[in-house]
């Protein structure tokens, strides 16, 4: 009985890991396609990203491949803005203030 319980736990953990991978594999491409490609980011551009959530952060990271001169991150959450600054945002704006 104990062997079946261990196998069940391993299957559940593998399923949870798969779900996490699927979620993460969706965020980065969405930020890139919707933010960077559709925004037609080019070298030297000034871009603004509204929302420093997972997709906004993905857009921030992937926009840097196209060498914009300025990346402005706008959000309500000061903690997310601090992280955006460490990820490469040149300017941050807290829209709550």
CATH number of 80's domain: 3.40.50.720
Write phi, then psi, for 63 (nearest 5 degrees): -65, -30
- Is the residue at 13 inside a domain? no
> How does pLDDT run across 9-60, given as a tens digit for each residue?
888 888 888 887 777 678 888 999 999 999 999 999 999 999 999 999 999 9
- The domain in which residue 65 lies consists of 28-94
Number of domains into which the chain is organized: 1
pTM tops 0.85? no
Residue 16 host element (H or E): helix 2-30
Taking the CA of residue 23 as centre, how many other CA atoms within 13 Å lie in the half-sphere pointing to its CB?
7
Residue 30 CB coordination number (10 Å) = 14
- Is the residue at 66 inside a domain? yes
Beta strands of the chain (E only): which ranges? 46-50, 70-75, 91-94
Beta-sheet strand order (sheet of 70-75): 46-50, 70-75, 91-94
């Amino acid at each position: 009985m104990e062997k079946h319980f261990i196998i069940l736990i391993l299957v559940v953990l593998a399923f949870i890991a798969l779900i996490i991978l699927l979620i993460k594999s969706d965020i980065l491409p969405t930020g890139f396609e919707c933010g960077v490609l559709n925004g037609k980011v080019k070298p030297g551009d000034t871009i603004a990203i509204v929302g420093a959530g997972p997709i906004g952060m993905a857009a921030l990271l992937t926009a840097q491949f196209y060498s914009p001169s300025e990346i402005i991150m706008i959000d309500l959450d000061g903690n997310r803005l601090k992280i955006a600054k460490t990820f490469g945002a040149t300017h941050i704006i807290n829209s709550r203030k």
